[in-house]
């Protein structure tokens, strides 16, 4: 027998609260109603979902396995409800965004702040995700708009449009001997112990290529996965890092200096969305806000 949505809702409520009484309060129904429905569900499904020991409920292994799938269904139903609500409210709804971690600290907060000046009643749901997961969030419609530095992505269902140009920069403690320089050459970094990234990451590969172009190899003393961790390391005095410039715009990282690296290594900041799905009015308005940001570190790509 298949479960209906009411049975799923009651089962999920018991799993979340751990008791019949808690589920009843969560759903605003009586305890006997919850007890009857879960007992009926167990009898029809043919599974014992909860062991009753000394007046308490303990989920069985089968219940825990079922809960994983039930939660997916429940989130889908919630998404349907949100979409219906958005359609009714029109300009006041929910806008779901996905962004790479470094841009989530600087570029996106600026865009969201500007957007909310125009649409204060819109709820923003923002996920920070690395590139493969970001693409998956768009493809599964967990997010409508993505913003990221995507290095290798060629998916037939995704539209990818460059909107800004980013570049690699060096981040140094204010007390570092090179902090007084206006710009740095790759060779200035060759003998430094750097905070960098693994070669299985896009930034790690790009930095490796930057040094190879000058006939050198980077010396990594600390290897991290994300640029904001690298910046935190610099701020703590652990060394010098190479990051993308948009990760350090504004006043996010005090007590560090940022210097351009020559020759310049640039990469696009891309806007992503589903190719064959029309964008909502909210998404279109947000994209307009994002692409019209005015900041000295932003170089628009026409």
End position of a domain, from candidates 88, 114, 134:
88
Residue ranges of alpha helices (H) inside the chain are 5-17, 20-27, 31-45, 61-89, 101-105, 107-118, 131-139, 186-189, 202-212, 227-235, 281-291
Same domain as 251, residue 174: yes
Same domain as 278, residue 246: no
Count of C-beta atoms within a 10 Å radius of residue 279: 15
Phi-psi category of 215—alpha, beta or left, where left has phi over 0 and alpha has psi -120 to 50? left
Count of C-beta atoms within a 10 Å radius of residue 195: 24
Same domain as 150, residue 274: yes
Same domain as 260, residue 201: yes
Same domain as 124, residue 32: no
Cβ 222 vs Cβ 83: under 8 Å: no
Please report, to the nearest 10 degrees, the dihedral formed by the alpha carbons of residues 256, 261, 265, 268 taken in order. 40
pLDDT tens digits in sequence order for the chain, 302 residues long? 578 888 888 998 898 888 899 889 989 999 999 999 999 988 888 889 999 887 788 899 998 998 888 888 888 888 788 777 766 655 568 899 999 988 888 889 999 999 999 889 899 999 999 888 899 999 999 999 999 986 567 788 999 999 998 999 999 999 999 999 999 999 999 989 899 998 888 889 999 999 999 999 999 999 998 898 999 999 999 999 999 998 888 777 888 999 999 999 998 999 999 998 899 989 999 999 999 987 655 655 43
User: What pLDDT is recorded for position 298?
Assistant: 63
Same domain as 140, residue 172: no
Residue 47: CATH number of its domain: 1.10.10.10
Same domain as 12, residue 57: yes
Tokens matching residue 9: 């809702």
Same domain as 260, residue 138: no
Same domain as 155, residue 284: yes
Tokens matching residue 4: 């209906």
Residue 171: CATH number of its domain: 3.40.190.10
End position of a domain, from candidates 88, 107, 127:
88
Number of domains in the chain: 3
- Provide the whole-model pTM: 0.66
Same domain as 169, residue 263: yes
Same domain as 278, residue 259: no
User: What pLDDT is recorded for position 302?
Assistant: 38
Tens-place pLDDT, residues 268-296 = 999 999 998 899 989 999 999 999 987 65
Tens-place pLDDT, residues 164-196 = 989 999 999 999 999 999 999 999 999 898 999
User: What pLDDT is recorded for position 53?
Assistant: 84
User: What pLDDT is recorded for position 296?
Assistant: 56
Same domain as 27, residue 152: no
CA distances, 101 to each of 62, 105, 133, 196, 216 (Å): 37, 7, 12, 16, 29
| Distance in angstroms (rounded) separating the CA atoms of residues 125 and 283 | 12
End position of a domain, from candidates 63, 88, 113:
88
Residues in a beta bridge with 67: none
Rounded to the nearest integer, the mean pLDDT of the chain is 88
Q: Which domain holds residue 230?
A: 165-267
């Amino acid at each position: 027998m298949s479960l209906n949505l009411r049975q799923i809702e009651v089962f999920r409520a018991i799993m979340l609260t751990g008791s019949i009484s808690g589920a009843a309060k969560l759903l605003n129904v009586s305890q006997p109603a919850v007890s009857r429905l879960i007992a009926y569900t167990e009898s029809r499904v043919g599974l014992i979902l909860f062991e009753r020991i000394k007046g308490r409920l303990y989920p069985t292994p089968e219940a825990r396995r079922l809960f994983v799938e039930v939660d997916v269904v429940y989130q889908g139903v919630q998404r349907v409800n949100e979409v219906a609500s958005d359609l009714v409210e029109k300009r006041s709804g929910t806008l779901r965004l996905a962004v790479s971690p470094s841009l989530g600290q600087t570029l996106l907060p600026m865009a969201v702040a500007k957007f909310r000046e125009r649409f204060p009643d819109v709820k923003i749901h923002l996920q920070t995700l690395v590139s493969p997961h970001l693409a998956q969030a768009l493809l599964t419609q967990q997010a409508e708009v993505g913003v990221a530095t995507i290095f290798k992505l060629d998916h037939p269902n995704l539209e990818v449009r460059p909107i800004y140009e980013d570049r690699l920069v060096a981040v140094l403690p204010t007390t570092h001997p090179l902090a007084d320089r206006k710009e740095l050459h790759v060779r200035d970094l060759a003998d430094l112990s750097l905070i960098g990234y693994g070669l299985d990451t896009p930034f790690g590969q790009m930095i490796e290529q930057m040094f190879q172009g000058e006939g050198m190899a980077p010396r990594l003393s600390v290897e991290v996965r994300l640029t904001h961790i690298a910046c935190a390391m610099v701020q703590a005095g652990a060394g010098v890092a190479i990051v993308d410039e948009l990760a350090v715009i504004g006043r996010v990282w005090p007590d560090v200096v940022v210097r351009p690296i020559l020759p310049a290594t640039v990469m696009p900041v891309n806007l992503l969305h589903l190719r064959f799905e029309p964008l909502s009015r909210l998404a279109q308005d947000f994209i307009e806000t994002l692409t019209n940001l005015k900041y000295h570190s932003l170089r628009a790509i026409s």
